[in-house]
Structure 1
Amino acid sequence: MPKRDFLEFHAVDAAVIDHLIDRAITLATLWTERRMPQSLTGRRVGLISDDTGWRNMTAFDLGIQAMGGLCTHAPVHLGQREATADLAGYLQNWFDLLVIRTRELYNLKALAASAVIPIINARTSSNHPCETLGDLAYIKQQRGSLEGLKVCGIAPDANILRSWVEASLILPIEVVQVYPRLWHVRDPALANANFRVSEDMDEIRDADVILTDSWPQEREAADLAAYRVSAAQLDRAKSDVVFLPCPPVERGEEVSDDALLHPAYKSLEAKAFLLHAQNALVEWVLEER
């Protein structure tokens, strides 16, 4: 059977995503009850991070151990001293799975092409599929369904928004990027009927989910002030809207302080599902077939 990589959200079937989301919801209950299945017993996972950030790699480490697996952090840097094919050969001598957080998606794809063991993308500068998978699991747990979901991404063309656009390629959801034209997603590989761009903040009025990401480094603050999410903006949205600003939040830039006190703010609850979704993903990738 072919190995199961998870490099881009849309590189797996919608049925697989549905399974992972439902399994994540089940694992969330088992986690709360401290009854985690030992389905990773005997499995050896290498954790590699040559990028900043801590949430999802910590969750991978904790989740793998809680499900009976063995994991270790390997101080590997892709695309530097050692050839990618050589790295793949050495690492697959020891591990059943590699979970990698790195900057360049093409380095991750090159490693996956050389390795006989599966690779999970823990984050790149191009996409962040595990983050989106966790958010979707939380949303489905709250709503009961993802059918017809409208997601407003008040964010530039960057990894968080891109993973939601990847999801729109295979799931029955609508994703709208609301941002100045300069930072619109224009990648033809992501174009699809479920994704569109806009500059109109009125799009949030009927959104089910509102997400944000950091402002671009090169910008004039006045140009983006209209796209700052505040409590007043959230009051214009649906009463059950879910507001998911991407951590770390830059208060006073993409998000105002009062927005984080609004009842719609659910990042703390949603990010708990990052652990559960990643547990489901590792379990599926290593599933005996």
Structure 2
Amino acid sequence: MNSPARNLLAISDLRPADLVSILARAQAMESLWNDRCMPQGLANKRVALVVNDSGWRNTTAFDLGIQAMGGLCIHAPLRWDSGEELEDLAAYLGNWFDGVVTRAPDLSSMRSLAGAFNGPVINARTRFNHPCETLGDLAFALHRRGRIDGVKVAVVSPMANILGSWIEAAAALPLEVVQVFSPTWHAASADSTSRFRTSSDMGELADADLIVTDCWPSNAEPDELRRFQITADLLEKCRPEASFVPCPPVARGKEVSAEAMLHPKCRVVAAKRFLLHAQNAVLEWAFATP
């Protein structure tokens, strides 16, 4: 059955007003978290956490956030590629759970799940996008600047799920996103209305507000990509208020130098604090009465 639930499958699926509301609510969630007085918007809600990989930050934050807001979070050890029909799995989950937070290989599988499950489905990662990671970084950018309109984000990364959600964000929000990388790994050209573009010029970082990285392609020669490494010297040339937020896990000596991780503009730990707050804001929005 088609679900009327509020799902987060891709950032560009949401109305800009909802995205702005979620990012603003994440700011309030930080204060509520620090004061240990979290709202109980998930009271009596049962949420399945369906993740079968080694990633831990997003999923741990979801587990923690669901419980802190009064919900019950259960790790369901199922796989979407188990051979059972996805519609059947969704129906079985629907017997017991009010919502699902999950990772899946493909966004199409995530959309099929959302169509079959009668409750919110939240995308914790696919190969093609990673919406909560990007919303967390955007919540941090809002915390730092007080607004997100006009923010320039430089994503020094091949085409992968982190960049995928930044492209989604550029389609939905008034910010500029530029992929800076070797043309071999550039994303496909966006339509003329998008605020996303590609470049191979590391000079794009000089006026960026937020600098994001992702892992180098496993099939690339390191020497081929060395000029796209973020170094302390490069960060020195960036705007004083710029924030460097490499996406964990970070491979020092590849996409990031060891010295860059110690630079004052590297604010990855502070930024990832907002991963929890943004996800909590998403959970509250998803389970709110429309």
* 2:212 aligned counterpart, secondary structure: strand
Q: CA contact under 8 A between 1:51 and 1:102: conserved in structure 2?
A: no
**In the alignment, what sits opposite 1:209?**
210
Deviation at 1:35, TM superposition (A): 1.0
Q: How many residues align?
A: 288
| Shift in CA distance, 38/109, structure 1 to aligned 2, threshold 3 Å | same
Structure 2 distance, partners of 1:78, 1:67, is 28
**In the alignment, what sits opposite 2:62?**
60
Q: Output aligned runs, 1:115-154, within 5 Å.
A: 115-154=117-156
| Pair 1:200-2:201 in alignment | yes
Code of the residue aligned with 2:120 in structure 1: it is P
Deviations, residues 211-269 of structure 1 (Å, cap 9, x unaligned): 10000000111110000000001011101110010100000000000001111001100
**In the alignment, what sits opposite 1:11?**
13
Moved more, 254-263 or 76-85: 76-85
| Shift in CA distance, 114/271, structure 1 to aligned 2, threshold 3 Å | same
Deviations, residues 94-137 of structure 1 (Å, cap 9, x unaligned): 11100001222222111112112221000111100000111111
Q: Output aligned runs, 1:83-232, within 5 Å.
A: 83-186=85-188, 192-232=193-233
**In the alignment, what sits opposite 1:268?**
269
Deviation at 1:81, TM superposition (A): 2.1
- TM-score, normalising length from structure 1? 0.97
Code of the residue aligned with 1:144 in structure 2: it is G
**In the alignment, what sits opposite 1:26?**
28
- Quote the sequence identity (%): 48
Q: CA contact under 8 A between 2:22 and 2:278: conserved in structure 1?
A: yes
Structure 2 distance, partners of 1:114, 1:152, is 37
**Runs of 4+ in structure 1 over 2 Å off:** 190-193
Code of the residue aligned with 1:91 in structure 2: it is L
Structure 2 distance, partners of 1:191, 1:32, is 43
**In the alignment, what sits opposite 2:255?**
254
Code of the residue aligned with 1:66 in structure 2: it is A
Q: CA contact under 8 A between 1:51 and 1:103: conserved in structure 2?
A: no
| Shift in CA distance, 191/6, structure 1 to aligned 2, threshold 3 Å | farther
Structure 2 distance, partners of 1:104, 1:170, is 21
* 2:139 aligned counterpart, secondary structure: helix
Q: CA contact under 8 A between 2:213 and 2:246: conserved in structure 1?
A: yes
Unaligned runs of 5+ in 2: none
**In the alignment, what sits opposite 2:235?**
234
Structure 2 distance, partners of 1:80, 1:143, is 45
Structure 2 distance, partners of 1:68, 1:193, is 39
Structure 2 distance, partners of 1:247, 1:71, is 24
Structure 2 distance, partners of 1:32, 1:177, is 35
Deviations, residues 177-226 of structure 1 (Å, cap 9, x unaligned): 010100000165x7743111001001111111111000000011111000
Unaligned runs of 5+ in 1: none
Deviation at 1:90, TM superposition (A): 0.4
Code of the residue aligned with 1:210 in structure 2: it is I
Deviation at 1:140, TM superposition (A): 0.3
Deviation at 1:2, TM superposition (A): 2.2
Code of the residue aligned with 2:74 in structure 1: it is T
Match of 1:35 among 23, 34, 37: 37
